[in-house]
Amino acid sequence: MAKRVYQVWKGNNRFIFGGRLIFGPNARSLFITISLVVVPVVIFCIFVARHLFHKFPSYNAGYAILVVAIVFTVYVLFLLMLTSAQDPGIVPRASHPPEEDFSYDISTMIMSAGRRTPSLHFTRIKEVMVNGMPVKVKYCDTCMIYRPPRCSHCSICNNCVERFDHHCPWVGQCIGLRNYRYFFLFVSSSALLCIYVFAMCALYIKFLMDGEYHTVWKALKHSPASVVLMIYSFISLWFVGGLTGFHLYLISTNQTTYENFRYRTDNRRNVFNRGCLNNFIEVFCTKMKPSINDFRAFVQEEPPRPPPSARVPELDNDSVSYPRSKVEDDLDIGSDLLKISKRRNIEEFDEEMGKNDNTSQSEFLSALETQLSGNRIDMPATRTDARSSSWGRRSSSWEMSTEIQGGSGNLMTEKEREIEERKE
């Protein structure tokens, strides 16, 4: 059965609803963030907002305080889900390294088994032009791609993300090109919600002081929930409010959190800065880039590919050679030894047989191979007796076996001939 992309995804993401929603590996922290928003608002609605219904008698304006708190909370949670549950701008991984960028470096040689081999060279940094300025892009070993400008690899999600800002543990997701807008709106809306809750609690304390409780202490003692909410909102405002101000600065200068912390000490020009107004327009008024990944698509099996290769420069065989297997080396050595042995046997045979010998070298070699395999050797009958005795002496020098020496009269030594003559 064919699998879908989200089922074989190599990153650390979590998918729900059949790959329709994608979260980071620490998506459980999202429940903590939701509770930090919802619980204070529920306390506010029960212990503060409902007591303000009749404080504004005209047009029942007191009910608007409760409605605004609920609607604002739903809006914040909606932005939180948009930030956390969608593709932040993940760059798909490659199935193999870019072969066109492999090359052999002749200047660097590797000695292997007595052979000089050019080392394999791979360009890990390239330069691309952005707004007329060169920008370096690096190769990612995990994703096997050259990262686009402003792209970085998140070690938590194990993905390369376009315009990577940071990995936010509060939303359990990377903040990148496709969700940075929603992340900023979530943070800024949370800051406004804190201000709203703090202001309504302070207003309720004021109404208490104008009524039966004439001192601040009596009013705070009568509504401890308002005190807790004011303290909580004040502390939260320092966090989300400070974060909002920091990202306003980043947007106005067209930076990311990653770039700001990494290149803060470098006096380099920001090639992405197009002016304050254009930078805000780029973040909030441009069309959202569609996701490159289709997590619900079926996986297409690729045919097996050969290992990465590179165009090897044409070099002199005497100066450079390339690694070979041990089997190939053994076969070459055995072939060389066989050629040397045959050549020596031919030279010795020519010296003994003379230039006018009618027996060819090929017949001699075939006879020798047959003799070594255990068969009899019948040399041509055109040889003279002198040549036969010479052949016998050569066979003696080769230390042939007794079976071979007695197998043919042409192979008998001079001593054996004398013994035979005496017997006769």
Active-site residues: which are they?
168
Tokens 């401890």 map to which residue?
Answer: 224
CA angle 52, 235, 239 (to 5 degrees): 120
Angstrom distances, CA of residue 311 to CA of 104, 122, 245, 290, 416: 7, 12, 54, 37, 68
- The distance from CA 124 to its chain's CA centroid, rounded to whole angstroms, is 13
Amino acid, res. 260: N
CB 207 within 8 A of CB 48: no
- The distance from CA 189 to its chain's CA centroid, rounded to whole angstroms, is 37
Q: How far is 309 from 333, CA to CA, in rounded Å?
A: 28
Query: 388: helix, coil or strand?
Result: helix
By CB atoms closer than 10 A (0-12, 13-18, 19+), residue 120 is: middle
Query: 46: helix, coil or strand?
Result: helix
By CB atoms closer than 10 A (0-12, 13-18, 19+), residue 368 is: middle
